[in-house]
């Protein structure tokens, strides 16, 4: 040790050394408090001053449930005031935090969002013609809508972590839904349908992989083109082949729910966790496997390295292109399963462009979830909830025009991705093809 | 272990990057590979490391011929490489970076980083690296990142360590530390290939020196050889090192920067209350390690960055003006990276010559260009600046680095400048062109223009500067005379504030250098 780090030693001999530390000017991000203030105002004007005066009832249990939980009754005016005041308090807190140079903590934002959602629910249900809503059904329904989003976002996470932007999720979902419907109808086996959906998703991925990895075509453009291709192809085949023979080609046999006794009776979470089809359970497995795989295994370390700095990965002997191919194909398989959920679980048969932009919302969930499987899972749940809320409220008959309600999931997407995430950073090399010079 | 290259030739299409090169390195030896930019040093090492396949020739390890299909195999054979641009993943921890590609796992492929951490601590202690295995790489200073690269090689039991231009990003003090580390490795029996174009370092560390020029091995030299001898071998003709320029005839201070501050998007002060002035007929050189705010300083002056403070030229405030207005105020600007900011590669030499005045006579007006006048103007500039090109109509990207830089200089160094700024004026340029470009810069100074040079090469700073400002973490550590010693500059580059009154001998560290 005696003859190491010469300069450090000599530096300390220098008379009065003044080591300079990098200085940081606090950049105050006022966006969050301002967004808080706007929503507090909205809450004041709508949830409080414009409240119906009735009570909103949230039913949790049905009369024949084993465990009976009493209904949640929320009088709109007092609840509106309490929520508005809490939001105002959080807003003031946020302004004070930022002016003191601190950022608004994540849990504060989460709490604010929760209050906003609660306030909105109480207000909107209270103003509806039917002021009673089945909360457990609302959540279970959200979940059903979220399943394909979750599959899609897992496909996005996996592909982007390896450095290939996957805009083709939409196409992979749609291809999966179509083939699952046809194969399941012909063979009368949902398992065969699922397998076919996986193959279809992989086929879309093969195109994405070959064009973006081998031929270095812009990944976003390939993805968009693939979406249009799949939409066109399935629509054409639907009109010319499926529609005339719908009883033989478009009446898939479905997966049925596997109910786990007792556990499925737990209020609210029971039906979500313990009364699912094979695809629902499989989804949980995939989320968990991807999370552990990406962050705690040798395989994941290599995948992330390839997505961050492929050249560095190459210099330690990792096969960059092979890693990318495998991940993009695997992503296609996962998205294909998500597509199968449409025709083997949630809908009775295939219909034209039935994925309706879900692939793009899944992409938003990837970003909102910060390229982390768990984060993307919850983001997808949020988007599913927004979509289902729109359906439920349309049935209840709310004062909000249905067109506005239909915009809800997309508004949530825009705010979530643009506003709340802010400075989230994806894999550095995602979207950049790797070539050795 | 003995590593031998026998008759290695590497061609890229028509171009021969390496021409039948023979090289031997044995354990306990530091074999330096000296050559200019583009001489083929890095290509040769990439061949050795399995990144390129040689067109002809053989690699022998302990007299056994080997063929590497990729870096993985080269590493398995005991060859490690520290790349010029670090091959580290910025968002990973040190341990993750070291483990990558050579991971220890428990059941089911679950990562076991603990054994990697232990190895890092072991090596770190043995060589005094002071590296924390759990630090995120992007938070570490470059000097430490480089040690992580060395650890990466050592963990893989490298018997031969290739260092490609390892000192390019280091301060003089960090360079001394690195040379000390190399000596320790050598004494422990590691064979080292040290690639550089810096004569002083090569002389200080080598046991053998091989000189590459235009892809060929042109000779070997003893470390005791004179610098001028090595330079002549490297360049192929006699080179005047340390030319003397005349004393500056300074005039009024026409360019004054006060309290200039540039913030990064995250609020870091990239340029931190910088103040200086340049007089007419004087060269102020800004020295510092890459990434200490020099680039942003020049870009802020050119109106390419939002900044606060004041920038006055001939009494007029430049801050807040557009870049076009600043150019019109008589500022010539050579950006740091000619290929991305200085030139449009697919445009012809002539078009590139008028990028800053295409809408002014004679090149054109607000509506149209006049191609013949542009060609004529360009031909005349090509002549004055001795640009070696087949004509003014060829794409500028077909020119060599030195000639491209001459095109940028020829465009910016027009008559009647009131300020000339050049960032890294000779980066990646051959020695012949460096001499020429330096002469032009000094000529501009002698014509009475205030000149601002930014350079990370201390040699260049010392050759050109009348006064030297050293930047560290966005601050100016001090403005000192042009003949200040390297060691003192080195300390300032490492963030130690210059103190006017202190005795210079106390900071001179010849004694601690080997």
Condensed to tens digits (0 to 9), the pLDDT of residues B386-418 reads 898 888 999 998 888 888 999 999 999 988 899
What average pLDDT does the segment B130-137 reach? 92
CA-nearest residue to B513 within chain A is A6
Is B7 an 8 Å CB contact of chain A? no
> Does A340 score more than 90 pLDDT?
yes
Is A305 an 8 Å CB contact of chain B? yes
Enumerate the residues of chain A whose CB falls inside 8 A of the CB of residue B181: 4
Q: What is the mean pLDDT of chain A?
A: 85
> Does A46 score more than 90 pLDDT?
no
Residue A55: inside a domain: yes
By three-state DSSP, how is residue B118 classified?
helix
Question: In angstroms, what separates the C-alpha of B102 from chain A's closest C-alpha?
Answer: 8
What's the sign of the alpha-carbon dihedral A345, A347, A351, A356? Answer: negative
Topology match between the domains B2-235 and B253-330+416-512 = yes
Measured distance CA(B363)–CA(B373) in Å, rounded: 6
Q: Which of residues 326-385 of A touch B (CB under 8 A)?
A: none
Residue A315: inside a domain: yes
Contact A298 B71 (CB under 8 A): no
Measured distance CA(B490)–CA(A45) in Å, rounded: 64
pLDDT of residue B497: 78
Residue A397: inside a domain: no
Q: Of A94, A127, A160, which marks where a domain is finished?
A: A127
- Summarised one tens digit per residue, pLDDT across range A398-414 is 777 777 877 777 777 77
pLDDT of residue A66: 66
Query: Are A155 and A283 within one domain?
Result: yes
Query: Are A69 and A164 within one domain?
Result: no
Enumerate the residues of chain A whose CB falls inside 8 A of the CB of residue B87: 309, 311-312, 315-316
What average pLDDT does the segment B241-246 reach? 71
- Summarised one tens digit per residue, pLDDT across range A64-74 is 666 677 888 88
- Summarised one tens digit per residue, pLDDT across range B28-61 is 999 999 888 778 888 888 888 888 888 999 999 8
What average pLDDT does the segment A172-188 reach? 96
Query: Are A181 and A321 within one domain?
Result: yes
Contact B72 A312 (CB under 8 A): no
What is the share, in percent, of chain A residues with pLDDT greater than 90? 46
The number of domains in chain A is 2
Q: Which of residues 398-417 of B touch A (CB under 8 A)?
A: none
CA-nearest residue to A425 within chain B is B91
pLDDT of residue B495: 83
Q: Which domain holds residue A365?
A: 143-389
Contact A318 B100 (CB under 8 A): yes
Q: What is the 3-state secondary structure (H, E, C) of B367-402?
A: CCECHHHHHHHHHHHHHHCCCCCCCCCCEHHHCCHH
Is B259 an 8 Å CB contact of chain A? no
Q: Indicate the pLDDT class of residue A56, thresholds 50, 70 and 90.
A: confident
Query: Taking Cα atoms as reference points, which of A208, A217, A431 lies closest to residue A330?
Result: A208
Is A240 an 8 Å CB contact of chain B? no
> Does B115 score more than 70 pLDDT?
yes
By three-state DSSP, how is residue B160 classified?
strand
Task: Tell the residue number behind the tokens 């994925």, with chain if given.
Answer: A355
Provide the Cα torsion B405, B411, B416, B417; round to 10°.
Answer: -60
**Is the preceding omega at residue A437 within 30 degrees of 0, hence cis?**
no
pLDDT of residue A7: 36
What is the share, in percent, of chain A residues with pLDDT greater than 70? 89
Which fold would CATH assign to domain B253-330+416-512? Rossmann fold (3.40.50)
- For the record, the structure tokens of B200 come out as 């002083």
Enumerate the residues of chain A whose CB falls inside 8 A of the CB of residue B491: 11, 14
Query: Taking Cα atoms as reference points, which of B372, B349, B357 lies closest to residue B412?
Result: B357
pLDDT of residue B176: 87
Query: Are A108 and A151 within one domain?
Result: no
Residue A187: inside a domain: yes
Q: Indicate the pLDDT class of residue B500, thresholds 50, 70 and 90.
A: low
pLDDT of residue B327: 93
pLDDT of residue B401: 81
- For the record, the structure tokens of B271 come out as 């340029």
pLDDT of residue B241: 62
> Does A155 score more than 90 pLDDT?
yes
Measured distance CA(B265)–CA(A29) in Å, rounded: 11
Contact A6 B513 (CB under 8 A): yes
Q: Indicate the pLDDT class of residue A418, thresholds 50, 70 and 90.
A: low
Strand order in the sheet with B2-12: B15-26, B2-12, B56-61, B64-66
pLDDT of residue A60: 81
Query: Are A263 and A378 within one domain?
Result: yes
Residue A286: inside a domain: yes
Q: Indicate the pLDDT class of residue A26, thresholds 50, 70 and 90.
A: low
**CATH architecture for residues B2-235:** 3-Layer(aba) Sandwich (3.40)
Predicted TM-score (pTM) of the model is 0.80
Q: What is the 3-state secondary structure (H, E, C) of A326-373?
A: HHHHHHHHHHHHHHHHHHHHHCCCCCCCCCCCHHHHHHHHHHHCCCCH
Q: Indicate the pLDDT class of residue A25, thresholds 50, 70 and 90.
A: low
Residue A416: inside a domain: no
φ/ψ region of A267 (left if φ > 0, alpha if ψ in -120 to 50, else beta) reads: beta
Measured distance CA(A375)–CA(A388) in Å, rounded: 20
Q: Taking each helix axis as running N to C, give the angle between helix B401-412 and helix B431-446, from 0 to 180 degrees, rounded to the nearest 10.
A: 10
Query: Are A153 and A54 within one domain?
Result: no
Is A8 an 8 Å CB contact of chain B? yes
C-alpha distance across the termini of chain A, in Å: 42
Contact A308 B90 (CB under 8 A): yes
Question: In angstroms, what separates the C-alpha of B409 from chain A's closest C-alpha?
Answer: 29
By three-state DSSP, how is residue B216 classified?
strand
Q: What is the mean pLDDT of chain B?
A: 88
What is the share, in percent, of chain B residues with pLDDT greater than 70? 96
pLDDT of residue B325: 93
User: What value, to the nearest 5°, has the Cα angle with vertex B52 and ends B51 and B53?
Assistant: 125
Closest in A9, A22, A312 to B88, CB measured: A312
Residue A170: inside a domain: yes
Residue A308: inside a domain: yes
Enumerate the residues of chain A whose CB falls inside 8 A of the CB of residue B49: 315
Query: Are A312 and A199 within one domain?
Result: yes
* Contact between B437 and B405 (Cβ < 8 Å): yes
Sequence ranges of the domains in chain B: 2-235, 253-330+416-512
Q: Which of residues 47-66 of B touch A (CB under 8 A)?
A: 49, 51
> Does B505 score more than 70 pLDDT?
no
Burial of B371 (0-12, 13-18, 19+ CB in 10 A): middle
> Does B231 score more than 90 pLDDT?
no
Q: Which of residues 138-167 of B touch A (CB under 8 A)?
A: 152
- Summarised one tens digit per residue, pLDDT across range A87-131 is 999 999 988 988 887 777 778 888 888 898 888 888 888 888 888
Q: For an interface test with A, give the residue of B13, B109, B180, B491 to mutate (most A CBs within 10 A).
A: B109
Query: Are A107 and A167 within one domain?
Result: no
By three-state DSSP, how is residue B328 classified?
helix
By three-state DSSP, how is residue B60 classified?
strand
Q: Indicate the pLDDT class of residue A330, thresholds 50, 70 and 90.
A: very high
Measured distance CA(B269)–CA(A22) in Å, rounded: 8
Query: Are A287 and A163 within one domain?
Result: yes
């Amino acid at each position: 040790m005696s003859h190491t780090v010469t300069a450090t030693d000599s530096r300390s001999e220098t008379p009065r050394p003044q080591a300079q530390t990098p200085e940081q000017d606090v950049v105050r991000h006022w966006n969050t408090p301002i967004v808080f203030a706007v929503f507090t105002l909205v809450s004041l004007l709508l949830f409080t001053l414009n409240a119906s005066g009735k009570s909103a009832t949230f039913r949790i249990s049905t009369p024949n449930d084993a465990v009976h939980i009493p209904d949640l009754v929320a009088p709109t005016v007092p609840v509106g005031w309490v929520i508005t005041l809490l939001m105002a308090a959080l807003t003031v807190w946020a302004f004070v935090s930022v002016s003191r140079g601190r950022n608004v903590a994540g849990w504060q934002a989460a709490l604010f969002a929760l209050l906003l959602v609660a306030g909105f629910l109480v207000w909107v249900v209270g103003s509806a013609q039917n002021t009673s809503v089945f909360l457990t059904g609302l959540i279970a329904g959200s979940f059903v809508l979220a399943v394909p989003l979750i599959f899609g976002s897992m496909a996005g996470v996996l592909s982007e972590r390896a450095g290939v932007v996957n805009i083709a999720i939409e196409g992979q979902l749609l291809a999966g839904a179509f083939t699952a419907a046809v194969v399941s109808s012909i063979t009368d086996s949902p398992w065969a349908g699922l397998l076919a959906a996986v193959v279809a998703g992989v086929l879309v991925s093969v195109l994405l992989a070959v064009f973006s990895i081998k031929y270095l075509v812009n990944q976003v453009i390939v993805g968009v083109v693939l979406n249009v291709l799949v939409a066109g192809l399935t629509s054409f085949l639907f009109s010319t082949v499926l529609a005339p023979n719908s009883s033989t080609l478009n009446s898939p046999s479905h997966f049925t729910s596997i109910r786990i006794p007792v556990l499925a009776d737990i209020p609210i979470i029971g039906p979500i966790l313990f009364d699912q089809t094979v695809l629902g359970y499989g989804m949980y497995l995939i989320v968990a496997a991807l999370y552990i795989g990406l962050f705690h295994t040798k395989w994941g370390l290599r995948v992330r390295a390839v997505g961050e700095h492929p050249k560095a990965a190459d210099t330690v002997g990792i096969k960059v292109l092979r890693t990318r191919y495998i991940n993009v194909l695997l992503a296609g398989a996962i998205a294909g399963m998500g597509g199968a959920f449409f025709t083997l679980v949630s809908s009775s048969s295939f219909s034209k462009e039935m994925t309706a932009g879900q692939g793009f919302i899944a992409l938003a969930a990837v970003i909102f979830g910060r390229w982390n499987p768990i984060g993307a899972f919850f983001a997808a749940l949020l988007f599913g909830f927004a979509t289902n809320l729109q359906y439920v409220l349309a049935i209840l008959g709310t004062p909000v025009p249905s067109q506005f309600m239909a915009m809800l999931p997309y508004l949530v997407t825009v705010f979530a991705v643009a506003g709340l995430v802010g400075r989230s950073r994806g894999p550095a090399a995602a979207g950049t093809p790797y070539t050795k010079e | 272990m003995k590593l031998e290259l026998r008759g290695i030739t590497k061609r890229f299409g028509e171009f021969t990057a390496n021409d039948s090169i023979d090289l031997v390195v044995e354990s306990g030896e530091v074999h330096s590979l000296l050559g200019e930019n583009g001489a083929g040093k890095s290509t040769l090492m990439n061949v050795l490391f399995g990144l390129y396949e040689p067109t002809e020739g053989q690699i022998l390890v302990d007299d056994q011929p080997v063929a590497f299909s990729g870096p993985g195999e080269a590493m398995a054979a005991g060859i490690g490489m520290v790349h010029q641009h670090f091959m580290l993943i910025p968002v990973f921890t040190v341990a993750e970076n070291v483990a990558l590609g050579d991971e220890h796992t428990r059941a089911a492929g679950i990562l076991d980083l603990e054994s990697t951490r232990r190895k890092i601590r072991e090596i770190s202690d043995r060589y005094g690296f002071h590296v924390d295995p759990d630090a995120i790489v992007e938070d570490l200073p470059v000097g430490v990142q480089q040690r992580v690269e060395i650890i990466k090689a050592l963990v893989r039991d490298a018997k031969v360590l290739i260092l490609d231009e390892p000192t390019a990003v280091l301060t003089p003090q960090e360079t001394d530390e690195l040379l000390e580390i190399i000596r320790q490795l050598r004494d422990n029996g590691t064979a080292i290939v040290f690639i550089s174009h810096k004569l002083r370092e090569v002389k200080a560390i080598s046991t053998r020196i091989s000189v590459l020029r235009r892809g060929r091995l042109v000779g070997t030299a003893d470390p005791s050889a004179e610098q001028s001898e090595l330079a002549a071998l490297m360049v192929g003709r006699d080179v005047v090192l340390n030319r003397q320029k005349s004393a500056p005839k300074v005039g009024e201070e026409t360019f004054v920067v006060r309290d200039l501050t540039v913030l990064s998007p995250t609020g870091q002060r990239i340029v931190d209350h910088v103040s200086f002035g340049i007089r007419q007929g004087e060269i102020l050189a800004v020295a510092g390690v890459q990434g200490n705010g020099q680039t942003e300083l020049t870009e802020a002056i050119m109106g390419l960055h939002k900044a606060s403070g004041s920038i006055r030229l001939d009494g007029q405030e430049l801050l807040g003006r557009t870049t076009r207005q600043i150019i019109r105020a008589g500022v010539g600007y050579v950006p740091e990276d000619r290929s991305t900011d200085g030139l449009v590669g697919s445009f012809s030499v002539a078009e590139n010559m008028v990028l800053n005045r295409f809408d002014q006579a004679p090149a054109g007006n607000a509506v149209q260009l006049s191609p013949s006048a542009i060609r004529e103007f360009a031909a005349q500039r090509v002549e004055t600046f001795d640009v070696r090109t087949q004509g003014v109509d060829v794409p500028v990207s077909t020119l060599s680095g030195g000639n491209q830089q001459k095109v940028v200089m020829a465009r910016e160094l027009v008559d009647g400048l009131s300020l000339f700024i050049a960032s890294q004026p000779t980066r990646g340029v051959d020695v012949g062109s460096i001499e020429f470009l330096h002469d032009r810069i000094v000529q501009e100074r002698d014509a009475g223009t205030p000149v601002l040079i930014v350079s990370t090469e201390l040699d260049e700073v010392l050759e050109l500067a009348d006064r030297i400002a050293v930047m560290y973490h966005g601050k100016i550590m001090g403005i000192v005379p042009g003949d200040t010693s390297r060691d003192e500059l080195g300390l300032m580059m490492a963030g130690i504030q210059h103190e006017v009154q202190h005795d210079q001998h106390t900071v001179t560290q010849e004694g601690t250098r080997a």
